[in-house]
Amino acid sequence: MRCWREPDSLIKCGRLVAIIQARIEFSRSVTSRMSDNGLKAVLILMGGFFLLALVLLERPDYLSTPAMLGGIIAAQVILAAVCRFKQAFFLALMIAFVWAGTNVPDQTVWLQGRWFVLGIGAVTGLAIYMKDHNHHFSTFHLIASFCVLSAAVSGLVSAYPEESLLKALSLLLLFVYASSGARIAIPVFHPEKFFHGLLVVCEFLSYFTSLCYFVFRWEFYGTSNSLGAVMGVVVIPILLWGVLTAHTLNSRRRLGFAVLLAILALMTSFARAAICAGMVSCLTMCIALRQYRLLAKGLAFAVVLAVAAVMFVPRQSEAPTWDGSQSVFDMFVFKGKPEQGAFGSRKGPWQQTWEVIKEHPWFGSGFGTSQTGDDLTNIQTKYTGSHIDTRVVREHGNSYLAIAEWVGLLGVLPFYSLIGMTLLNVRKVFSKVRVTGNAFLPAIPAAAVVLAGLVEAMFEDGLFAVGYYLCVLVWALAFILVDLIHYSESGQHAQESVPSENWGGLVPASAGQ
């Protein structure tokens, strides 16, 4: 062999032999794990078929009802998502929550079904995440656990402990999933793949929403505030990031057109909180990347689309009416009622929330529960008296006031601490972007959506309403942002994503040394 005749050939042959041996051992371990997983999958499928056979023998009429058939199909889809947990479960979870919160058929079924999906995601995600020896938890996750404890304590002292504790349990499931399952959805080596998938979904939502509202006149999201929240908090910031990172001129133009459609849909909602949220998020992103020309163009297009939304585009049922005498400014700032002021619709809920905080200053009224003096005789509710779910009747007009009312001044400390740490994480991302000018950082879209969600929460109640799909998405991205910052500061992404000579990453770099 030539390796015995050349200098240093013995070292090269030793490295080659070590690499081959390491690859053989790796292949054996992978084969062993695959065989074990295959055996487990066969056993699980056999057990599932056996259980299904018993159910059908006991109740043969189950397959004769559309509801049961739909439930079986949904269970199969969820099982398939669990089998592909890292790749598919996050999307399945968001579909379940969106289905429960939009104007679609069988919406009421998913009002309960979404909790089963979230519970499965929390348990499965935690089990998979803990198997990874590189898992880590930080102060952020510790404070999140204190938030759950605070919600549970407020539920124990609530006038409606059963409902409040159930809502505290939903918060626990959300934070457990966000701390484990949502983090698994982000590939450690290539986290940008997740956000490029999110970009594709947002582009689809822009076109789909335009067809629903401008062509078919179908109010898919139910309320104008929900339409504005989806467009302003999620779709527009993500699409703007896509425009900034587009590789070709055609893709940049296509995404730019999708941004314009999303802005038009946002303007037709007249949702001031969502408009402010989208504006703050996009301004922050453009200023951090020094895209001042794009920022000026975007503001000009936004003004033109706002005028079009008032004068030409058909409005929704909840939109304010325009009689021609009001200015565009009055329509958006005062919603056609300048005599009430800009915050006329918020003063009443804010005042009522302060009154409840004064009555229950320390431990609050119970997480997710509120007292109201409205007439509830026409609304079906489990409890009698002056109580009902806050998402149905009681409006707070501010998520930060709402959580203070629910858990009291003592219990609100971990929640405000969690929000403060989230804002610090957003600041870290955009500060780094300002210094480096790198628009391809995967943390940018996560920080943009989280920032928009926190701004919108200043005028809406959805930040801690666990049943709301935007609440699930914003907090999942907030927990994901913690990991992205951790890997960025430690240099793990940059180190592991660089191609090397270790057989495409199948063999540790130390094997050849």
pLDDT digits (tens, 9 = 90+) for 409-460: 999 999 999 999 999 999 999 999 999 999 999 999 999 999 999 999 999 9
Q: How confident is the model at residue 491 (pLDDT cuts 50, 70, 90)?
A: low
Output the pLDDT for position 394.
Answer: 66
Output the pLDDT for position 463.
Answer: 93
Residue whose C-alpha is closest to residue 453's, from 238, 246, 173, 169 = 238
Q: Which residues pair with 303 in a beta bridge?
A: none
Output the pLDDT for position 489.
Answer: 77
Helix, strand, coil share of the chain (percent; to 5): 75, 0, 25
More confident residue, 444 or 52: 444
Output the pLDDT for position 317.
Answer: 75
Residue 485 CA from chain centroid, whole number: 17
Within 211-314, residue ranges assigned H as helices are: 224-229, 236-244, 249-269, 272-288, 292-311
- Cα dihedral value 65, 67, 68, 69, nearest 10: 80
Output the pLDDT for position 314.
Answer: 80
pTM: 0.82
Sign (positive or negative) of CA dihedral 268, 274, 276, 281: negative
Q: Tokens at residue 5, please?
A: 């005749």
* Cβ pair 255, 239 in contact under 8 A: yes
Helix or strand (DSSP H, E) at 369:
strand 369-371
The whole-angstrom separation of Cα 117 and Cα 110 is 10
User: pLDDT, tens digit, for every residue of 13-24?
Assistant: 555 555 556 555
The whole-angstrom separation of Cα 383 and Cα 166 is 15
Output the pLDDT for position 424.
Answer: 97
Find the range with the poorest average confidence among 124-133, 303-312, 344-353. 344-353
* Cβ pair 202, 239 in contact under 8 A: yes
Task: Select, from the ranges 74-78, 183-187, 371-375, 469-473, the one with the highest average predicted confidence (pLDDT).
Answer: 469-473
Q: What is the mean pLDDT of the chain?
A: 82
| pLDDT exceeds cutoff 90 at 259 | yes
| pLDDT exceeds cutoff 70 at 512 | no
Output the pLDDT for position 417.
Answer: 97
User: pLDDT, tens digit, for every residue of 138-169?
Assistant: 999 999 999 999 999 999 988 888 889 999 99
Q: What is the mean pLDDT of residues 256-270?
A: 96
Output the pLDDT for position 57.
Answer: 74
φ, ψ for residue 388, nearest 5 deg = -165, 165
Output the pLDDT for position 364.
Answer: 87
Output the pLDDT for position 18.
Answer: 59
Output the pLDDT for position 188.
Answer: 74
Within 289-374, residue ranges assigned H as helices are: 292-311, 328-333, 344-359
* Cβ pair 5, 12 in contact under 8 A: no
- What is the C-alpha end-to-end distance of the chain, expressed in Å? 22
- Cα dihedral value 238, 241, 243, 245, nearest 10: -130
Residue whose C-alpha is closest to residue 183's, from 237, 122, 266 = 122
Output the pLDDT for position 245.
Answer: 95
Q: Tokens at residue 511, please?
A: 């094997």
Output the pLDDT for position 77.
Answer: 83
User: pLDDT, tens digit, for every residue of 21-46?
Assistant: 655 555 555 445 444 555 655 666 67
Share of the chain above pLDDT 90, in %: 52
* Cβ pair 125, 175 in contact under 8 A: no
